[in-house]
Structure 1
Amino acid sequence: MKLLQINSTLNWGSTGRIAEEIGQVVLSKGWESYIAYGRQCNKSKSQSFRIGGDWAVYNHGLQTRLLDNHGLASRKETKHFIKQIERISPDVIHLHNIHGYYLNYSLLFDFLSKVNIPVVWTLHDCWAFTGHCSHYSYVGCNRWHTLCYDCPQKGDYPASCLIDRSEQNFRDKLRAFTLVKNMTLVPVSEWLAGEVRQSFLKDYPMQVIHNGVDTEIFRPQQVCKADLGFDNRFMILGVSSVWLSRKGLKDFLKLRERLSKDEYVIVLVGLDESQIRHLPEGIIGIRRTNSVQELAKYYSVANIYFNASVEETFGLTIAESLSCGTPAIVYNSTACPEIISSDTGFIVEQGDINAVVNIVKLMKETGKQQWISDCRERAVGLYDKRKRYEEYLRLYEGLVSSPLLANT
């Protein structure tokens, strides 16, 4: 059996690592694994190849900026890629992020509609069913329910500097993405599945498969705060790969104002140098780390994890924190609340810093020791990546053995 995965990156970033690790699972079961990617990559155990090159990415990006036609450039590169698909003749095609300045989705889906190959599409964000954006909750836009127009996030990824083509993009995606008959959608959370059911993709079969955590790396560790350069104050941790507005940096600044600097310290991982320079006293900023071992130590020594994001299709850092035995505070927004339970964390209303302060003070009095076991048990039971990748394998096997049954 042959699996072909398509993603913007390969073994780089969260979706790139997911594709790589799924490939490793199917290889261990005797399948052949192929991964096609568009941009950044690290070494892979699968047979891999790039779609296009740097110049094609730059050209696609330029067209996106000028014409707001993201996903409709790269025609020559996509036609060449389709010939590679025909040569490989995969038994299953698994799509991840097909946006990212490297692929023409219209040409690809026209091809997929004409071949008898089961398609699995993991939805890591909301781009597949909007006229422009990959996330919309932060601005409260629901135009994608019917027809996008006058996009309030035209300047956000995939940014357009001039034209607003959101209405035509919506129509183009609707036409292309509903062509394929034998396709199964995999939203990464129940929240995202609920959104998809309100979109033009609602008639496709869906199976929620959560993103996975390496619970062998992300585990409770006996680490002293001093070993990581921290003092013994109560530590509130926040982690993000990029600290955009929707990730809640301003809320951490508000929280800092409400807590004693002598008793509490906030540690934020993933900031850039400019953000670090502008932090107030009492907040320690750490640049993004590619070391999961280092990140696991931060989670382990933290007294509580605070996810101030208002826009998550899953909430991987929350699951990582639980896996390290540290309870979390999350906003009652998008997918974040479904990651935790009453014995592994707290849900507060978006922006309610008073509630966060009260929880932090309560945790300082009671300690986190009583939470560690429940947090770890939930992470291992629900978010262990090995179990999640086995779900993908079973999905593939079902589609190959009985594609019609698997799509009913």
Structure 2
Amino acid sequence: MKVAILHGSNQGFFPRFYRDLKSIVESNEDNEVKLFVPNSGLNHRCVLPNQVCFGSRFNWHLHYGLFKFFGKQDCWSHLDTWDLIRKLKKFKPDILHFHVVNQCHINFPMLIRYVNKNHIPVVWTFHDCRAFTGGCPYFDEIKCERWKDECRNCPDKGGLYIKNFANTEWLRKFREEWFNKIWNLHIVTPSQWLADFVKQSFFKTKNVQVIYNGIDIDAFSSPSDFDVYGCYGIDKTKKIVLGCAINWEPRKGLVYFEELAKRMSSDYQIVLVGGVPQSLKSELEKLGILCTGRTRTFAEMVAWYQVASVFVNPTLADNFPTVNIEALASGTPVVMFKTGGSPEAVDECTGIVVEQCDVEGLLISIDVIISNPIKYSREKCLKRSHLFSKLQYKKYLELYHSVIGN
């Protein structure tokens, strides 16, 4: 069985996702997985096994520029899509597995005609909502439901659209028309929350299956030898309240850590791991928040999870944040906002879910968890995390066989 995985950029959680999925699929020597990604600087800096680049670096800038001006996406990139199809024909996949593909590098009418002509089944993992909207990856933060019918008069023009005609209505209709032409499409979501939205979209007649993202439980549960206390000069008597994000953009809830810092006693130390805007860093440090930047090693990242008394995730828009299950696998309970599929990671003994924007609720929940170490124990967190182990990727292998069999 040959599986061709199509994705936009090798960043965030995807590299680990791909390596683990590839390892499971290729455990049978008769199977082969290849990754097809656009020719970009990022994909050249992070090269993954069996990676094939298609197109030119110039294409993305051209496609993105046309998108920004006309508000139309997924319909340009003729030459790059021709190059992708040429390379797919050479590989001859039995299954085409889409991931994040609506990123200004594919002409979907061309690709879908190739797929249908050659009767190649498609598995499409949705990591956000953009495939069934007029462009936005998340709409719950602005409480928008226009994606269900026309996506007209986008209320988030300041975010997605800067200078264009904001053709959200056109883009949604275009996607509805072409994506529903895929002759054999199976949709996977990493959360039940996202699956429920898919079933309300123009994909409602398609097969939808929930497969949670999986992680290497042993890698996070094994003791780390990185000394965060010594490296960062932290008093070992302090209770560490941890937050992690690749980049602390507004939707990740940075403002709520500021509010927590104003209300917490000196017994606590808030630590933020990840890219914090330089313009905000000095203000956060004045509040006593430690901003570490991105971790330099995996051992350091694991160490932060393990020394934390509680992990806090106040994200305002997300699908199924991997940081939640990484914290659990490190033995640390989680406090989170009721956002997207985030609550699906915990149960009553491994975390507390708080309504969005409720700072007082966050503060109370942090105290409840720290005051009840027996109820919210390391052992219970580890047990819960095994629901999200790398065994999740075996479900993809089962799906591949099922799709080919049908």
Matched AA of 1:336: S
| Aligned residues of 2:224 and 2:299 also touching (Cα < 8 A) | no
Query: Are the counterparts in 2 of residues 212 and 388 from structure 1 also a CA contact under 8 Å?
Result: yes
Query: Which position in structure 1 is the counterpart of 2:279?
Result: 274
Tell me the equivalent position of 2:250: 245
Matches within 5 A, 1:3-402: 3-10=3-10, 12-30=11-29, 31-38=31-38, 39=40, 40-41=42-43, 42-46=46-50, 48-157=51-160, 159-219=161-221, 221=223, 225-229=228-232, 230-232=234-236, 233-260=238-265, 262-270=266-274, 271-279=276-284, 280-289=286-295, 291-367=297-373, 371-380=377-386, 382-385=387-390, 387-400=391-404, 402=405
Offset, 1:330: 1.0
RMSD: 1.8
**Are 2:13 and 2:322, in contact at CA under 8 Å, matched by a contact in 1?**
no
Q: Which amino acid aligns with 1:277?
A: S
Q: Given the two structures, how large is their TM-score scaled by the length of structure 2?
A: 0.93
Q: What are the ranges of 5 or more consecutive residues in structure 1 without an aligned counterpart? A: 404-408
Amino acid in the other structure paired with 1:349: E
* Corresponding residue SS for 1:60: helix
Write out per-residue CA displacement over residues 332-376 of structure 1, whole angstroms, 9 at most, x where no aligned residue. 221111110001011111111112212222334344785100101
Q: Distance in 2 between matches of 1:2 and 1:329?
A: 41
Does the CA-based 8 Å contact 1:132-1:151 persist in structure 2?
no
Contact 2:96-2:122 at 8 Å conserved across structures: yes
* Secondary structure in structure 2 of the residue aligned to 1:161: coil
Deviations 1:317-336 (A, max 9, x none): 11110010000001122111
SS at match of 1:113: helix
Q: Distance in 2 between matches of 1:209 and 1:81?
A: 27
Shift of 1:35: 0.9
Unpaired runs of at least 5, structure 2: none
* AA aligned opposite 1:59: L
What amino acid is aligned across from residue 268 of structure 1 in structure 2? Answer: L
Kept after mapping to 1: 8 A contact 2:333/2:369 = no
Tell me the distance in 1 between the aligned counterparts of 2:364 and 2:263.
10
Tell me how far apart the structure 2 counterparts of residues 220 and 326 of structure 1 sit (CA, whole Å): 13
Structure 2 residue matching 1:206: 3-state secondary structure: strand
Secondary structure in structure 1 of the residue aligned to 2:36: strand
Percent of aligned pairs with the same amino acid: 29
**1:304–1:326 contact (8 Å) kept in structure 2:** yes
Which string of whole-angstrom CA distances, capped at 9 and with x for unpartnered residues, describes residues 227-272 of structure 1? 3422221111011112122111111111111111x21111111123
Contact 1:67 1:160 in 2 (8 A): no
| Aligned position for 1:406 | none
Residue identity opposite 1:295 in structure 2: M
Count of residues in correspondence between the two structures: 396
Does the 8 Å contact 1:217/1:292 carry over to 2?
no
Offset at residue 222 of structure 1 (A): 6.1
Q: Deviations over 1:157-213 (max 9, x none)?
A: 4x4422110000010000011001211100110000001000001111111111111
